[in-house]
Amino acid sequence: MAAEKVAPPFPAEEKMSGEEGAPAVAQENASPVVAAPGLSRLDIERYSRQLVVPELGVRGQLRLARSAVLVVGCGGLGCPLAQYLAAAGVGRLGLVDHDAVELNNLHRQVLHRESRLGVPKARSAAAALKELNSGIQYVPHELALDPSTALQLVRAYDIVADCSDNVPTRYLVNDACVLAGKPLVSASALRLEGQLLVYNYQGGPCYRCLFPKPPPPETVTNCADGGVLGVVPGIMGSLQALEVLKIASGMGTSFNQVMLLFDALEGRFRHIKLRPRNPDCPVCGDHPSVVALQDYEAFCGSSATDKCRTLQLLHSEERISVEEYKTILDSQVLHVLIDVRPQVEVDICHLAHSFHVPLSKLERKDEECLKSLGQRISQAKQKNDNSSAFPVYVVCKLGNDSQKAVRILQGLSQDVLGLISLKDIKGGLMAWANKIDKQFPQY
């Protein structure tokens, strides 16, 4: 099909009469032009495709231009969110992130580039967005949001978008938004699933109304632990941007009492009706007890980071370092090494001499799995004349699941595995890659 020829919305600008090379055109013959007040000719051209949407129109576009949005996290959610807000003409974007661009970010954090590896994410995102729309004000905040900075920062914006990946930051941002009276658009993505909610908007609930107590730290999984298909946060961040734009332009949102759930595998969206605002909520209730920001890491029992968490479940004498394990290997001490990672991670990389027993099977006391493990230990014992407890070491990616596995194996009777000495390897295979074998893949 031939390309459609579209006439420009306005004729080319002509020079004033009397200027060098100006055409001899009488000014009184020029057609009067009446454009929307507050929008330049270039604004109208740039935003023309959304200006003609009746629900937005000129009034909505002007509201966007006067709006200021704080984006907390310039990662998998924050990148597509900020990109669409900038493209749509939101007047000021605050970009909060204390982290730097890493190679493993690029499959989902689409504003960053290989050329900006090591650059602070807030600065990298601002640079990319400026190339998209130079008429927007970008304010990089290269910091970790904490109780000393959050409230003052939130008060400087009209709407807050929570794109963080940890529980303490979610409580912190929620409480700051309630205390500052700002709507909060929140999303999350993990593996092949996503969620979207709008808090503290037009009488709707806040995050604490729905989740008054944080989950136990050992039950929380983030993208670093559980993985995510890059397009999933892209979808959720785009939906998040949609709700921010609807609120900022005056359309309003449908999600202040509804949770949107996305299942990427099934290609399905579901809506769950939420409870209304809790009048007894400690932060947004009728008689709030939280009137100032608190220590959210202490409240949640976990660190405010999207990095892989570090658990401490075992005593120091029940653990060994990767350096100590390397000495055991070099000394050719007979032992069994159990790798408790999921099969999908073992397929990526593993130590050749390890014996794979997924933690999930240990947790449900899988009889066939335990029988196989017992046989492996028994075979190794036959090569060892020593009657003392046979050494068994447990490894995982980071040294968290291996500690859980040691606890489970310690609870088994001696009849199952025989007399063994159990220890986990601190830091797991990623510590091995960092400190022992630089060629071992990191993921």
Residue ranges of the binding site for ATP: 76, 97, 104-108, 121, 165-166
DSSP 337: E
Rg over alpha carbons for the chain, rounded to the nearest Å, is 28
User: Could you please report the per-residue DSSP string of 107-137?
Assistant: TT-TT--GGGTTSBHHHHHHHHHHHH-TTSE
User: Could you please report the per-residue DSSP string of 131-198?
Assistant: HH-TTSEEEEE-S---TTTHHHHHHT-SEEEE---SHHHHHHHHHHHHHHT--EEEEEEEBTEEEEEE
Instruction: Please identify which of the residues 223, 300, 349, 369 carries the catalytic annotation.
Output: 223
Binding residues for Zn(2+): 206, 209, 281, 284
Look up 163 and say whether it is catalytic. Answer: no
Residue type, 435: K
Query: What is the C-alpha to C-alpha distance for residues 406 and 394, in angstroms, rounded to an integer?
Result: 7
Binding residues: 76, 97, 104-108, 121, 165-166, 206, 209, 281, 284
Instruction: Please identify which of the residues 74, 79, 163, 396 carries the catalytic annotation.
Output: 396
- Token pair 């809506």 is found at 271
Ramachandran class of 413: left when φ > 0, alpha when ψ lies in -120 to 50, beta otherwise: beta
Question: Which residue, 70, 73, 76, is CA-closest to 108?
Answer: 76
- Burial class for 419, CB neighbours closer than 10 Å (0-12, 13-18, 19+): exposed
The helix, strand and coil proportions of the chain, stated in percent and rounded to the nearest 5, come to 35, 15, 45
Strands 258-263 and 68-72, bridge-based pairing: unpaired
Look up 79 and say whether it is catalytic. Answer: no
CA atoms lying within 13 Å on the CB side of residue 30: 16
Residue type, 148: S
Q: Catalytic positions, please?
A: 223, 396
